Amino acid sequence: MLAGPNGHVNIFNTDLAVFEAGEVRKDLICTVTPSKPALGFDLRFHAGYDVTLPLRDVAGSENALNILFRVSPQNHPDRLVYFTQHIRVPKLEEDAKGDAFLQGGFDLGEGNYHVDWLMRDRAERVCSFSWDSEATLSTKDRSINLAIGPGEIQRTDREQFKEEPPVQRVSNEPPLNVKVLVNFAPQDASSAALQPVDTSALVSILRSISREPRIGKFSIVAFNMQEERVVYRQEGADRIDFPALGEAINSLNLGTVDLKRLGEKHGDTDFLAGLVRHEVGSSTSHPDALIFAGPKVMLDSNVPPDALKEAGEVNFPVFYMNYNLNPQAVPWKDAISHTVHFFRGYEYTITHPRDLWFAVSEMVSRIVKSRNGKQTSSISTQ
């Protein structure tokens, strides 16, 4: 995003002339395809564009492509936000075949917008395009509070584990204390990498929980079933340390297998059983709720009931936020689902952003009801 003194951005007159003309230019041959704003799990509309251009059109000595575009709300056309993007083009053979594929993006609040876009190379050839874009919530999503206000235009933040801004917690009642066990793993259990879309969704689940004003204490356990290890732990904090969590997640090495694990027949089941026994049965933080989150964990053998009984009596609600982009592909219950069912817990399938919003809202209501019920029972006993 471009920013200048007092909000004024200096733009070359030649570029302004292209924008004001509003004409499609193809001195530099390219095709621009806008993407429809889509609501992400971070509760922000993500908009953008795809660009293709023939390699032969930029062949020869090294080149540079400079993209400039501006976005404005249609009800405030004078409120322009400018963005720039620079792409280095390496030296290409004159008979280079195929196309180059470029992308760009930005975030929007709900509303209607106009976009003027241009790309210029070193020879001052221009490709330009403009389009209108609508970011709107469906009828089902009307009750969702977005993380970005109506009519707002912002740069897309690629840093998934940045620090979370302070949250104003409720002061008229004791804050809730929750423990969250997150399986940082890809949707495809055979994948050798944690995809950005998966990381973004799992981090968004944590951020949604951290932004709930009634929750004031967090214990976080990040683990990975493929590596069968806990990669990060944070106990009884008043905020989730996302930067520290990000550093730990970067240590995952999903493309390798520990030689010791090859001789273990049900090592993954034993790991999950041990994790549950430790985090449920040996908990010293006395949480108001235990929350599992992550993609499905399909094991050859589920954790046996006798192993779960060793965790002892659970006097707080247990939840499972199952991140599953395609529930129809694997409709069966997984190992964590069976575990949560044993503790008479609740399961939510997170496929769309609305699922996350409603799951957190209902989950917190259940936690509050459970805690109030225990307090009422305690008073009655006294």
Which domains does the chain possess?
5-135 (2.60.40.10), 176-381 (3.40.50)
pLDDT at residue 257 in the model: 64
pLDDT at residue 19 in the model: 93
Give the phi and the psi of residue 337 in degrees, each rounded to 5: -60, -45
**Residue 130 tokens, joined:** 């403009």
* DSSP states of 171-215: SSSPPEEEEEEEE---SSTT-SS--HHHHHHHHHHHHHHHT-TTE
**Residue 102 tokens, joined:** 């470029």
Alpha carbon distance, N-terminus to C-terminus of the chain? 62
Look up residue 215 and give its amino acid: I
Reported as a single tens digit per residue, the pLDDT across 328-338 is 988 899 999 99
What is the residue whose two structure tokens read 């550093």?
247
What is the C-alpha separation between 209 and 321, in angstroms, rounded? 11
Contact, 71 vs 156, CB < 8 A? no
Taking alpha carbons only, the member of 169, 255, 243 closest to residue 206 is 243
Q: Establish how many alpha carbons lie within 13 A of residue 197's alpha carbon, considering only the half-sphere containing its beta carbon.
A: 10
Say whether 158 sits in a helix, a strand or coil.
coil
Say whether 37 sits in a helix, a strand or coil.
strand
**Residue ranges of the chain with pLDDT lower than 70?**
4-7, 255-265, 282-285, 374-382
pLDDT at residue 192 in the model: 75
The percent of residues above 70 in pLDDT, for the chain, comes to: 92
Contact, 197 vs 353, CB < 8 A? no
H or E element, residue 89: strand 81-89
pLDDT at residue 226 in the model: 86
Q: What is the pTM of this model?
A: 0.84
